[in-house]
């Protein structure tokens, strides 16, 4: 009898950051299920029905942009490295702009027409991508969502959503800002793009985490853009002569916000941000930003790829995968920056 060779796949990640006393850490690495290589033609029936051994799959990733967005670039790099390490083909498509929703929809439809084996999607709009994901399902192409999810009621269109608990993380950031301000003062909010589930969750969490002595005096969308963030921050600062704190839904808008504050000669405003990018951490070290809620794009990307590869090669039952997998978050301030 021909011998069956057992292969053990181990996924691990070392997270070397420290955080605030109240934090949600990335889940501990888990061991993937053992699988057996299928027998050659003429072997057992069970082996003959298994997936083709050694097949190379094409796994595509659709996201907003990797330009001037370290977090999105980090997810793309993580997915690419894990896909290629597993011996499969990686394809990246980017809409080119943080708000180019229609471009993303078209690109997903093109991937479906190309008959890729699986798609990882970072949805730019919770509703706009739904019809495209329905087409993917109809074509038998498995989908995993990362970073952002889609409108409720469409859970049958994807295997799982892997991402940060944005609401809980922003709530923690608000609590930290409240503590810094002594639970008194006025704050303004620079949102992400309207209609984006991630930005909405972060703002909602931030509002719910603020102390009862904090007043929100302004709130406008920055569209994940420095130029737009600068403009709306200028508008809110002009309308409000007294501002003690500011929350931004992403580190990618910090440069625009800080420029607006500098132009208006407004100092001492405590800023809580989100993403944990290298730029955000550098600004904390300079004393320009109070804190940022760090995410783990490496962990996020690996979970997404491992899940899809398992579904494609038949070792993972898609129905058994949790619909939401928390990839963890961390509160970074000057106190724990190093």
List, as one string, the DSSP characters of 146-205.
Answer: ESS---TT-GGG-S-EEE--HHHHHHHHHHHHHHHHTS-EEEEEEE--TT-HHHHHHHHH
Would you state the pLDDT for residue 53? 54
Give me 166's structure tokens: 């944005």
pLDDT band at 98 (very low <50, low <70, confident <90, very high): low
Residue 186 counted as domain residue: yes
Clarify whether residues 184 and 287 are in a common domain: yes
Does any domain span residue 334? no
Q: Does residue 19 lie in a domain region?
A: no
For residues 130 and 251, membership in a common domain is answered with no
Tell whether 160 and 170 lie within a shared domain: no
Supply the pLDDT for residue 197: 84
Mean residue pLDDT of the chain comes to 86
pLDDT at 165 over 60: yes
Whether 45 is in a domain gets the answer no
Q: Let me know whether 140 and 183 are in one domain.
A: no
Work out the pLDDT band at 38, boundaries 50, 70, 90. very low
Q: How far apart are CA 297 and CA 279, in angstroms?
A: 15
> Would you place residue 43 in the very low, low, confident or very high pLDDT band (cuts 50, 70, 90)?
very low
| In a shared domain, residues 316 and 201 | no
Q: Does 224 reside within a domain?
A: yes
Q: What is the largest CA-CA distance in the chain?
A: 83
Count of residues for the chain? 338
Predicted local confidence at residue 5, as pLDDT:
35
Q: What proportion of the chain, given as a percentage, has pLDDT over 90?
A: 75
Residues 181 and 259 in one domain: yes
Give the mean pLDDT of 255-281: 96
CB 257 within 8 A of CB 271: yes
Nearest Cα to Cα of residue 175 among 17, 329, 335, 21? 21
Could you list the beta-strand ranges (E) of the chain: 6-7, 35-36, 58-63, 89-94, 118-121, 143-146, 161-163, 185-191, 214-221, 245-248, 270-275, 291-295, 324-326, 329-333
Distances (CA, A) of 272 to 60, 188, 260, 264: 34, 11, 16, 19
Question: Which residue, chain included where needed, has tokens 């699986």?
Answer: 118
pLDDT number for residue 195: 81
Domain encompassing residue 91 = 27-36+56-164+297-328
Query: Does 285 lie in the same domain as 230?
Result: yes
Closest CA to 170 of 204, 147, 195, 146: 204
Is the model's pLDDT at 9 over the cut of 50?
Answer: no
Q: How confident is the model at residue 52 (pLDDT cuts 50, 70, 90)?
A: low
314 φψ region: left (φ > 0), alpha (ψ -120 to 50), beta (else): left
Neighbours of 43 (CB within 10 A): 14
Residues 31 and 153 in one domain: yes
Domains identified in the chain, total number: 2
Extract the tokens encoding 250.
């992403």
List the one residue out of 41, 61, 60 whose CA is nearest residue 52: 41
Q: What is the pLDDT of residue 55?
A: 87
Q: Does residue 7 lie within any of the structural domains? A: no
For position 65, what pLDDT does the model report? Answer: 82
Together in a domain, 177 and 63 = no
- CA distance linking residue 245 with residue 270, whole number of Å: 5
Q: With bands split at pLDDT 50, 70 and 90, how would you rate the model's confidence at 320?
A: very high
Question: Do residues 135 and 247 both lie within one domain?
Answer: no
Query: How buried is 56 (Cβ within 10 angstroms: 0-12 exposed, 13-18 middle, 19+ buried)?
Result: exposed
Residue 237 located in a structural domain = yes
CATH at residue 86: 3.40.50.2300
Instruction: Give the residue-averaged pLDDT of 196-219.
Output: 96
- Whether 16 is covered by a domain: the verdict is no
On whether both 305 and 289 belong to a single domain, the answer is no
Whether the per-residue pLDDT at 41 is higher than 70: the answer is no
Q: Which residues have a Cβ under 8 Å from the Cβ of 143 and sit 6 or more positions away?
A: 118, 119, 120, 121, 133, 136, 137, 157, 158, 159
Which stretch of DSSP H or E encloses residue 207?
helix 197-209
Answer for the pair 274, 250: CB distance below 8 angstroms, yes or no: yes
Q: Are residues 60 and 170 in the same domain?
A: no
Would you say the C-alpha torsion 263, 264, 270, 273 has a positive or negative sign? negative
């Amino acid at each position: 009898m021909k011998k069956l060779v057992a292969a053990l796949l181990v996924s691990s990640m070392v997270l070397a950051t420290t955080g605030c006393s109240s934090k949600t850490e990335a889940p501990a690495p888990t061991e993937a299920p053992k699988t057996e290589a299928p027998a050659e033609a003429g072997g057992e029936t069970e082996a003959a029905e298994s997936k083709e051994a050694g097949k190379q799959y094409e796994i595509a990733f659709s996201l907003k942009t990797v330009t001037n967005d370290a977090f999105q670039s980090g997810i793309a790099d993580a997915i690419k490295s894990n896909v290629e390490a597993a011996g499969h083909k990686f394809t990246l498509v980017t809409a080119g702009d943080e708000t180019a929703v229609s471009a993303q929809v078209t690109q997903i439809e093109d991937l479906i027409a190309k008959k890729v084996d699986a798609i990882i999607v970072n949805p730019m709009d919770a509703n706009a991508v739904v019809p495209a994901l329905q087409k993917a399902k109809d074509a038998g192409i498995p989908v995993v969502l990362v970073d952002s999810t889609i409108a409720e009621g469409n859970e049958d269109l994807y295997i799982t959503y892997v991402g940060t608990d944005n609401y809980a993380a922003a709530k923690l950031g608000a609590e930290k800002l409240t503590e810094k301000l002594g639970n008194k003062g006025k704050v303004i909010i620079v949102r992400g793009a309207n209609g984006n589930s991630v930005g909405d969750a972060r703002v909602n969490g931030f509002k719910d985490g603020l102390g009862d002595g904090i007043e929100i005096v302004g709130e406008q969308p920055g569209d994940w853009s420095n130029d737009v963030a600068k403009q709306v921050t200028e508008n809110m600062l002009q309308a409000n002569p007294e501002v003690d704190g500011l929350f931004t839904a992403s580190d990618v808008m910090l440069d625009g916000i800080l420029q607006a504050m500098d132009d208006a000669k407004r100092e001492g405003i405590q800023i809580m941000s989100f993403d944990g990018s290298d730029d955000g951490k550098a600004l904390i070290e300079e004393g320009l930003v109070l804190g940022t809620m760090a995410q783990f794009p490496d962990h996020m990307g690996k979970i997404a790829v491992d899940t899809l590869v398992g579904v494609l090669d038949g070792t993972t039952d898609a129905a058994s995968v949790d619909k939401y997998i928390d990839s963890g978050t961390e509160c970074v301030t000057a106190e724990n920056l190093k």
